[in-house]
Structure 1
Amino acid sequence: MLGNFVYANPTKLYFGADALNSLNMELSKYGKNVVLVYGGGSIKKNGLYDAVTEILKDNGKNVSEIAGVMPNPTIEKLYEGMEIARNAKVDLILAVGGGSVCDYAKALSVSVNCPEDPWEKYYIKFDEPTCETIPVGCVLTMAGTGSEMNAGAVITNHKAKLKIGHVFADEKIMPRFSILNPNYTMTLPKYQMCAGIYDIFNHICEQYFSGTDDNTSDYISEGLMQSLIHSSRIANANPQDYEARSNIMWTATWALNTLVAKGKSTDWMVHMLGQAVGAVTDATHGMTLAAVSLAYYHYILEAGLPKFVRFAENVWHVDPAGKTDKEIALAGLAAMESWMQELGLAMHLRELGATDDMIEDMVNATLILDGGYRILTKEDIRKILQTSM
């Protein structure tokens, strides 16, 4: 394991069927003014809204609300929330929802007391906060993004045709606490569940497909991927299986709480491609990743061949007997493709509403990173997107 790194993760997790009871303990640590952030209203249908607001009321909190946070939170929605939070003199932002709601809460945290435009500061210049940030807590209702235990926040600017994530360097941007009850994920539509499963899987892949050293993080990643594949098949057959859904939820957290990135360069180009697709089509995030990932992995396979061979043998249990390294690697990607089809994922961009005349916008919206096995050019990106159509 090569390189130097620092690891710190201050998020306190409460996991299990009784996890919400712990909100009482956490609320006592913060001031009276709470801004409650949530999405399209599903938490009102399943009773979670009432349960959370009752706890807030019992703890004497003044509650303001930011409702209607969309699956790909927009910069306009962030501006709206900043005004609400400022007027409320917010002491704590409580996100109740999926990863997009948690992402939005963190973006709000760094923007409320910032006099500069957050889009320009955080998503164009990638500056770090220079103002006082607001603590964030999460009550998670969807497993996928890992946003409940990291410092990332993705915001979409439709006017600029950009969807950009900023992973903040300061650990205080991470949620101070997150409440994870697998039961809250049970009402999620199957399409969204499977999209979340692939988001989890690809988070691990983005960190796994980088570096050539013998790295402990890769062994952890292989275990997480095998657990996810196993549980995904159970949940796909029976979405109400608590054990499978709990394992998926826990894997999602560990896939992106920075642990398996340690000692790694990390890739993230599938996410850059997928986010570009999302910026143009507004399609579900996990599905955009599914639609571009196989084309990307085939494109870089020879540059990272030893790792793709290891992936095939250790994650997909491909028998290497009588095969060349490239044949082993391709068999691994074929097994992955079969699993993706089994889950019902989007395998092509046309399934997400993309058309050929959108490709140039998607090319221009794709940020190029240098942590993977091959540094792409704009022409490479164009070819991958065309293959993904």
Structure 2
Amino acid sequence: MLGNFSYSNPTKLYFGENALEHLGAELTHYGKNVLLVYGGGSIKKNGIYDQVVSILKSCDKEIIEDPGVMPNPTAEKLYQGCQRAREGKVDLILAVGGGSVCDYAKAVSVSTYCEEDPWDKYYLRMEDVDNKIIPVGCVLTMVGTGSEMNGGSVITNHEQKLKIGHVFGDNVFPKFSILNPTYTFTLPRYQMIAGFFDIMSHILEQYFSGEDDNTSDYIMEGLLKSLIHSTKIAVENPTDYEARSNIMWIATWALNTLVAKGKSTDWMVHMIGQSVGAYTDATHGMTLSAISIPYYRFIMPYGLQKFKRYAVNVWDVSPDGKTDEQIAGEGLTRMERYMREIGLVMNIKELGVTEEMLDGIARGSFIMDGGYKVLSNDDILTILKDSMGE
């Protein structure tokens, strides 16, 4: 296992059907004013909103509501949230929702007291936080991003046609997160499946890097096998508690920084997918699924041994009598078959991408250098064209 690293994760997790019972105790650590952040109102329909508000009131908290967080939170929404947090002199931001809500809450936490334009400072210049940070807590209702236990925060600027993620340090991680798998049961099927692939993509972005014998790779292979098994069950029965609880736990460990240790990591699928999202506002997990197979077929020759290992250890491809290329290719074929089986989007045209958008999407894709090939703009265009489908 190569490289030198440090590791810490300050987020405290409460997991299980009774996890929300711990919210009251956590609230005692923070001041009176709480910014309650949530999305389009589904938490009011399924009763989670009432449960959370009841606990907040029982703890004598002053609630400042910030509803309407969209699936791809925008810079405009961020500015609105910062104003509410400042005016309310907020002591804690409580995010109740999925990854976008958690991402947005972290963006507000670092931006409220930022003396510059936070979009410019944190998302264009990628600078560190040097101002007051409002602590964040999460009550998770959708899995996929791992945002409940990391410092990541993705914001979209429609005017600039950019969707950018900033991975902040430990000081921005949620202080606590509450994970009740039953809260994910009422999620619409499309969003559920998109979240499943977001988890898979997070693991693969880290797995397809490096050539050393790395413990992190063994952990990721186990996570992938469990994910594939449980998602097949959940697609057939979305209220299967065992499957949904496994998926929720996998999502957290896929991106809480643990399996990245000792890895250079890739992240090009996310860079291209996020650029697609900036142009189409498409669901994040589906932008990743539409890009992944064309991308991995393109880079497979440059990381052939890892793709061979992936085929054998994750997809149970028999290597007998086959070349390395055949083994690796069969692994991607089985991955593609699984993706189609659970109902993922497999081409970007279905997400609203047109031929006229391709150049702009390619230019808006940040180039990363941790994978098996550093892409050129022409390479990205080739992948995008392949991602358009037949």
TM-score scaled by structure 2?
Answer: 0.99
- Cα deviation code 1:235-294 (max 9, x no counterpart): 011111011000000000000000000000000000001000000000000000000011
Q: Please state how far the C-alpha of 1:365 moved relative to its aligned partner.
A: 1.0
1:83 equivalent in structure 2: 83
2:312 equivalent in structure 1: 313
1:141-180 matches, cutoff 5 A: 141-168=141-168, 170-180=169-179
- Cα deviation code 1:129-176 (max 9, x no counterpart): 1101010000000010000000000000000000000001x2010000
Mark the runs of 5 or more structure 2 residues left unpaired by the alignment. none
1:351 equivalent in structure 2: 350
1:322-341 matches, cutoff 5 A: 322-341=321-340
The sequence identity of aligned pairs, in percent, is 66
1:96-135 matches, cutoff 5 A: 96-135=96-135
- In structure 2, distance between residues paired with 1:108 and 1:84: 10
3-state SS of paired residue (1:260): coil
- In structure 2, distance between residues paired with 1:367 and 1:97: 28
2:3 equivalent in structure 1: 3
1:260 equivalent in structure 2: 259
3-state SS of paired residue (1:22): helix
1:367 equivalent in structure 2: 366
Q: Please state how far the C-alpha of 1:361 moved relative to its aligned partner.
A: 1.4
2:385 equivalent in structure 1: 386
3-state SS of paired residue (2:259): helix
- In structure 2, distance between residues paired with 1:188 and 1:102: 16
- Cα deviation code 1:360-380 (max 9, x no counterpart): 111111000000000000010
- In structure 1, distance between residues paired with 2:155 and 2:342: 27
Matching residue's letter, 2:41: G
- In structure 1, distance between residues paired with 2:65 and 2:382: 44
1:272 equivalent in structure 2: 271
1:43 equivalent in structure 2: 43
- In structure 2, distance between residues paired with 1:305 and 1:370: 17
- Cα deviation code 1:158-203 (max 9, x no counterpart): 00000000001x2010000000000000000111111000000010
3-state SS of paired residue (1:301): helix
Matching residue's letter, 2:162: L
3-state SS of paired residue (2:8): coil
3-state SS of paired residue (1:26): helix
Q: Please state how far the C-alpha of 1:387 moved relative to its aligned partner.
A: 0.6
Matching residue's letter, 1:286: G
1:67 equivalent in structure 2: 67
Aligned length: 388
- In structure 1, distance between residues paired with 2:60 and 2:385: 56
- In structure 2, distance between residues paired with 1:213 and 1:155: 34
Matching residue's letter, 2:113: N
Moved over 4 A (4+): none
3-state SS of paired residue (2:301): coil
Matching residue's letter, 2:264: S
1:22-37 matches, cutoff 5 A: 22-37=22-37
3-state SS of paired residue (1:304): helix
Q: Please state how far the C-alpha of 1:228 moved relative to its aligned partner.
A: 0.1
Matching residue's letter, 1:272: M
- In structure 1, distance between residues paired with 2:349 and 2:367: 23
1:246 equivalent in structure 2: 245
- In structure 1, distance between residues paired with 2:184 and 2:235: 13
TM-score scaled by structure 1?
Answer: 0.99
3-state SS of paired residue (1:201): helix
Q: Please state how far the C-alpha of 1:56 moved relative to its aligned partner.
A: 0.3
1:182 corresponds to 2:186: no
Matching residue's letter, 1:184: Y
2:215 equivalent in structure 1: 216
- Cα deviation code 1:339-361 (max 9, x no counterpart): 00001100001111111111111
- Cα deviation code 1:112-137 (max 9, x no counterpart): 11111000000010001110101000
- Cα deviation code 1:193-222 (max 9, x no counterpart): 110000000100000000000000000000
Mark the runs of 5 or more structure 1 residues left unpaired by the alignment. none
- In structure 1, distance between residues paired with 2:239 and 2:58: 31
Tell me how large the CA RMSD over aligned residues is: 0.4
- In structure 2, distance between residues paired with 1:352 and 1:132: 39
2:204 equivalent in structure 1: 205
- Cα deviation code 1:77-132 (max 9, x no counterpart): 00000000000001000000000000000000000111110000000100011101
Matching residue's letter, 1:173: V
- In structure 2, distance between residues paired with 1:58 and 1:113: 29
